[in-house]
Amino acid sequence: MNIGMTELWPYLLLVLLGFLPNEVWRVFGLVLARGLNEDSQIVVWSRAVATAILAGVVAKLILFSSGSLAAIPLGVRVGAAVFGFLVFLVAKRSAFAGVAAGEAALLIGGYLFVG
Amino acid sequence: MPPMSKPASEPSPESYSRTFPSATAAFLSGIRAALSSVFFLVIGGTYIGMGALAHDFDLSSWWLALSTVLVWAGPAQVILISALGTGAAPIEVAVAVSMSGIRLFPMVVALMPVLRRPNMRVRDMILPTHFTSVSMWVESMRHLPSMPREFRIAFSNGLSVGFMGTATITGFIGFYLAAGLPLLFAAALLFITPMSFLISTARNARMFMDKSALVIGLILGTALTAMQVELDLMWTGIGGGTLAYVIHRIREARAGAST
């Protein structure tokens, strides 16, 4: 029973903490689709909240990395992110160019400082 | 006669620039549109990174595939994986995932009137509702208005199946790449997620408010994590988002007062 629980536990967490809290907004949207437009204040505020959360996730993953990424020095991680962002701005807001440049900078910096 | 039944201004099927012989053809055309979209590359890169992240946090590749199908939202999945991996409190994970999902609400609200067709059953809307994501929303809003209403749901579902299939397959690829790659390359895979999130969020930030929410979120997220505040992502979202919103309202009021 213990083994079964250990194997099923991540899937139960997936449904309870991942699927349901996320899906509820889609269902709300379906139910309330007639009532609101994109300019209503609650929609504007929720967009700001969603953007700030995403930014928080980005900061956490870059500054407080775990696993293999933690082996890359903090300065290289931040420098690569800044470089990728600058390339994105320069390259006519091309997401692909920005991500590719950030990745290249991380690989080069990692190679130089970690070996 | 109720005004909702059929607007008189609705054009006849012949007047649309793009039509299909059958619903199946519309569905297949949706899949093709997904594979030639810019989001094909973004999703591929993001989910290769997510596969590496799942591997890093000791979750199985099948768990990741199921989370892609059930959750179908990159930010929510990243929050879920990293929070479960670092042993965050369940309530914090649920709140953070839910806060990141709020953006889906206005998207569904905006998409449903475009997808709606005469004689539609509620169950026809279940799949498009679940499929709603940034990529599907942007491409649906771009393609659907040029085609007759009877084919829109099929096309949109094809689009979503194309994107979701790409995400599921590249998730497996990232997972097994991370398992076998040298340290430096595994680190580079893990770096794809924050890098592509940073840039796609910046790309979507057209209004001043979105840009300030991004900057405030980066600063607040760093500060709260460094101070080891409980529920840091939730406070980053509510605090940082509300601050950006308040600044936006003050600017609007000033602009209104000065004219």
| Of B180, B198, B216, the domain-final residue | B198
Token code pair at residue A29 = 């949207």
Tell me whether B96 touches chain A (CB under 8 Å): yes
Distance from CA of B16 to the nearest CA of A (A): 25
Rounded Cα distance between B231 and B249, Å, is: 27
Number of domains in chain B: 2
Query: Same domain for B65 and B150?
Result: yes
Distance from CA of B240 to the nearest CA of A (A): 6
ipTM strictly over 0.90? no
Rounded Cα distance between A88 and B8, Å, is: 45
Q: At A48, is the pLDDT very low, low, confident or very high (cuts 50, 70, 90)?
A: confident
List, as one string, the DSSP characters of A20-70: HHHHHHHHHHHHHTTT--TTSHHHHHHHHHHHHHHHHHHHHHHHS--GGGG
Rounded Cα distance between A21 and B71, Å, is: 9
pLDDT for the residue numbered A1: 42
Tell me whether B225 touches chain A (CB under 8 Å): yes
* Residue type at B32 in one-letter notation: R
Q: Please count the CA atoms within 13 angstroms of the CA of A41 that sit on its side-chain side.
A: 6
Query: Same domain for B142 and B25?
Result: yes
Token code pair at residue B13 = 């099927």
Query: Same domain for B145 and B97?
Result: yes
pLDDT for the residue numbered B223: 96
Contact between chains at A57 and B194 (C-beta distance less than 8 A): yes
| Of B183, B198, B213, the domain-final residue | B198
Q: Using CB atoms and an 8 Å cut-off, which of residues 54-93 of chain B contact chain A?
A: 56-57, 59-60, 63, 66-67, 70-71, 73, 75-80, 82-86, 90, 93
Mutate to test the interface with A, among B4, B86, B197, B199 (most CBs of A within 10 A): B199
Give the position of tokens 């029973």.
Answer: A1
Of A58, A55, A52, the C-alpha closest to B243 is A52
For B121, the 3-state DSSP assignment is coil
Query: Same domain for B123 and B238?
Result: no
Whether B2 is in a domain gets the answer no
Neighbours of A41 (CB within 10 A): 10
Tell me whether A111 touches chain B (CB under 8 Å): yes
Query: Same domain for B89 and B215?
Result: no
- CB of A45 closer than 8 Å to CB of B100: no
pLDDT for the residue numbered A35: 59
Query: Same domain for B217 and B97?
Result: no
Query: Same domain for B213 and B175?
Result: no
pLDDT for the residue numbered A5: 61
Whether B55 is in a domain gets the answer yes
Tell me whether A29 touches chain B (CB under 8 Å): yes
| Of B198, B224, B239, the domain-final residue | B198
Q: At A38, is the pLDDT very low, low, confident or very high (cuts 50, 70, 90)?
A: low
Give Cα B86 to chain centroid, integer Å. 24
Q: Which residues of B79-113 are buried (b: 16+ CB within 10 A; e: fewer)?
A: bbbbbbbeebeeebbbbbbbbbbbbbbbbbbbbbe
Greatest mean pLDDT among A18-32, A43-57, B82-96, B179-193 lies in A18-32
Query: Same domain for B121 and B82?
Result: yes
Torsion angle of alpha carbons B44, B45, B48, B53, nearest 10°?
Answer: -140
Q: Which residues of B213-237 are buried (b: 16+ CB within 10 A; e: fewer)?
A: bbbbbbbbbbebbeeeeebbbbbbb
- CB of A89 closer than 8 Å to CB of B204: no
pLDDT (tens digit, 0 to 9) for every residue of chain B, 259 residues total? Answer: 344 444 444 556 567 888 999 999 999 999 999 998 878 887 998 899 899 989 988 899 999 999 999 999 988 998 899 888 777 889 989 988 998 888 788 788 888 888 888 777 888 899 999 999 988 988 898 899 899 999 999 999 999 999 999 999 999 999 999 888 888 988 998 898 889 889 888 987 878 999 999 999 999 999 999 998 877 888 898 899 999 999 999 999 998 887 6
Query: Same domain for B194 and B232?
Result: no
SS3 content of chain B, % helix, strand, coil (to 5): 80, 0, 20
Of B94, B100, B183, the CB nearest to A54: B100
pLDDT higher than 90, residue A78 = yes
Contact between chains at A57 and B75 (C-beta distance less than 8 A): yes
Rounded Cα distance between B255 and B232, Å, is: 34
Q: At A53, is the pLDDT very low, low, confident or very high (cuts 50, 70, 90)?
A: confident
Distance from CA of B192 to the nearest CA of A (A): 7
Q: Which residues of A touch B241 (CB under 8 A)?
A: 45-46, 48-53
* Residue type at B100 in one-letter notation: S
In sequence order, what are the residues at sequence separation of 6 or more whose Cβ sits closer than 8 angstroms to the Cβ of residue B193?
A61, B46, B49, B50, B53, B78
Whether B7 is in a domain gets the answer no
Whether B11 is in a domain gets the answer no
Query: Same domain for B194 and B210?
Result: no
pLDDT for the residue numbered A3: 53
Query: Same domain for B97 and B42?
Result: yes
pTM (two decimals): 0.76
Domain that residue B233 falls in: 205-253
Whether B167 is in a domain gets the answer yes
Distance from CA of A51 to the nearest CA of B (A): 6
Token code pair at residue B86 = 């670092």
What are the backbone dihedrals phi and psi of residue B242, each rounded to the nearest 5 degrees, phi first?
-65, -40
pLDDT for the residue numbered B256: 84
Of B154, B152, B157, the C-alpha closest to B13 is B152
Of B104, B193, B232, the CB nearest to A25: B104
Q: What is the mean pLDDT of residues A46-67?
A: 86
Q: Which residues of B touch A90 (CB under 8 A)?
A: none
For B44, the 3-state DSSP assignment is helix
Query: Same domain for B160 and B211?
Result: no
Tell me whether B134 touches chain A (CB under 8 Å): no
- CB of B95 closer than 8 Å to CB of B78: no
